[in-house]
Structures are given as C-alpha cells and as structure tokens.
Amino acid sequence: MSPDTWHILSVFVAFVAVLFVCGIYSILVTRNLLRTVIGIEILIKGVTLLLIVVGYITNQTGLTQSLVITIIVIEVVVMVIAGGIALSMFRNIDSIDTRNLTKLKG
C-alpha cells in the first residue's frame, strides 16, 4: 500500500473520529430531544464519509456508493420516526425536555 493512501486514510479517520465525538457529545449534553436526533445524524454522516473513503482507497467505489445510498434512505426514515416520537411527546406534555424521559427506572 503506497504511503500516501495510508496518509489519506489516517487523515480521514481522524476527522471521522472528530465527527463521532461531536455527535456523541451533542446527544449526551443536550436537554432537547431534537438535538439528540441531530447528534445521531452527525454520527451517520461520519460513517458515510468513512465508507466513501474506504471505497476510494480500495477502488470499490461502486459497492460503497450503493451502501451509502441505502444507509441514507434508511436514516431518513429513522429521522422521521424520531421526529414523530418527539412530536407526540410534545402533544402529551407540551415539552420535549429529556428529563421527563426518566420515569421508567429500577
């Protein structure tokens, strides 16, 4: 493997890791439900980017592109459902604060 492909890979991995940290951070820190969903979205973007880079390095761009397309489609649906849950939660208690999501415990 030529040194530069290793170089590209490690740079992208670094930045994907950064994306990963921002996503996790945004999920754990926020008190608003929608920010958590955004956090998940950031994580997905990181993974898609990684997939694309891997495809580029191993010259399997066709395969990785189709995988990415499927992932994006699935994630859209998940986001919609998450939004739906946030909405019905809002309808019940007029707030989407995550602190009310802790009744089931023990």
Nearest distance from C-beta of residue 97 to other proteins, angstroms = 9
Considering only residues 18 through 37, tell me which ones interact with other proteins, judged by CB under 8 A. 18-22, 24-37
Provide the 10 A C-beta neighbour count for residue 64: 19
Count of residues of this chain found to bind other proteins when the rule CB under 8 A is applied? 99
Provide the 10 A C-beta neighbour count for residue 98: 15
Residue 43 phi, psi (nearest 5)? -55, -45
Nearest distance from C-beta of residue 41 to other proteins, angstroms = 6
Considering only residues 47 through 106, tell me which ones interact with other proteins, judged by CB under 8 A. 47-74, 76-94, 96, 98-106
Nearest distance from C-beta of residue 49 to other proteins, angstroms = 6
Nearest distance from C-beta of residue 2 to other proteins, angstroms = 10
Burial class (CB in 10 A: 0-12, 13-18, 19+), 33: buried
Whole-number Å distance between alpha carbons of 52 and 25: 24
DSSP SS3 for 97: strand
